[in-house]
Amino acid sequence: MSWYFTTGYDEAAESKVNAGGKARQDICAILSDMGMSELRVKVPLGRGSRGGLGKIQGHWEAYERWVSAVGGLRQGDILVVQFPATAHTLLFPRVMNQLAALGVKVVLLIHDLDSLRPVVSTDGSLFSKIRVDREEDYAVAHADVVIAHNPKMANLITQKYCRKPGTVVSLGIFDYLIPHFCKDLESSNDGAVVIAGNLSPRKAGYLSALPQGVHFNLYGLGFEGNDSDDISYYGAFPPEVLPRVMTGGYGLVWDGDSPSTCSGAGAYLRINDPHKTSLYLAGGLPVITWKDAAIADFIQTEGCGIVVAGLEDIQDSLAAVSKEQYDQMSANVAHVGARLRDGFYTRQAMTNVAARLGTDLPSDKNV
């Protein structure tokens, strides 16, 4: 019995595809460190620019690459698939069936459930929606174990797909590896609120209506506004660099058009764990998030941030935090951040997966 994990590779350059970026890369690094072997699945080039029959051909090509990649697996092997797969294909159910026929156990580690993401479900083409529904529904329903972001997503998956109790494991939060981390500037309760990530109006429309009386430091691509008395824009940085350079007292996790609630694209926060939460905590910043976000439970349980109903509540909420409370919050953030930078939560989830499958991990370092 051997453990494997999948990675997507560019067909020509043989370099890792930057799909999902750091979250996927960190998972690969952690699983590799645990003694699992990499299973490469080459991604056909130019699929996005193809039309009609070309798109169908791209799905067949991706399927053939999956067949080639998994053909060497044996009965009892365990394959961790980061999902949605980089080499996605309408024929992924066939891949799942082939793995089952080989006697391979499949562990599906969820990055996104595209059928539940408002932007994907409303803006995609009919063919794309059919592909997402077919691929996602079959994979989530038939995997031996599913790793969901959090208990709320785990419950949704269990109910929607009628999965057996114990076959859905909660990750808790995505890890955020930062080798040799150090930060010169400490956060403080009177510091600015950091907003990092996709700053485009489509993703973060609320930026046009940020509350006054709070200073916001922005980092990322797509910002179309201007600096002001309450907003400073610092540009974009690589994910490994950003935690070291972002300055402020808190990091904001918010999505959608409205500053009063997370609506539109922001509604997805009810079930997912935004990767920027991990960015902030790994970088030493307490988190401010929507009270109805799934990640709010983690933030409150670990005492590493505050939750608000709307952005208009931030000023009063921050004013109510004493120096002693902020110092304790920062200590909690330091504890969680150290775990994130070491891959603790992925290792813990994989330990739970192994227990569900009744087997041992190649290594259980740091669990």
* pTM: predicted TM-score of the whole model, two decimal places: 0.92
For the chain, list residues with pLDDT below 50: 11, 13-20, 121, 365-367
Cα(164)–Cα(168) distance, rounded to whole angstroms? 8
Match 């997503």 to its residue by tokens: 153
Determine the pLDDT at residue 8: 77
Torsion of CA 106, 108, 114, 116, to 10 degrees: 110
Local structure of 361: helix, strand or coil: coil
Q: What is the pLDDT of residues 323-336, one digit of tens each?
A: 999 999 999 999 99
- The residues, any chain, with a CB within 8 Å of residue 324's CB and separated by 6 or more, are none
Q: Are 344 and 176 in contact (CB under 8 A)?
A: no
Cα(95)–Cα(134) distance, rounded to whole angstroms? 13
DSSP alpha helices (H): ranges in the chain? 22-33, 53-70, 92-102, 118-123, 126-142, 151-160, 242-245, 275-282, 295-302, 314-319, 323-342, 344-357
Query: 22-43 as b/e, with b when 16 or more CB fall inside 10 Å?
Result: bbbbbbbbbbebbebeebebbb
Cα(124)–Cα(102) distance, rounded to whole angstroms? 34
Task: Sketch out the chain's domains with CATH numbers.
Answer: 3-175+343-357 (3.40.50.2000), 193-342 (3.40.50.2000)
Determine the pLDDT at residue 20: 47
Q: Are 135 and 88 in contact (CB under 8 A)?
A: yes
Determine the pLDDT at residue 265: 84
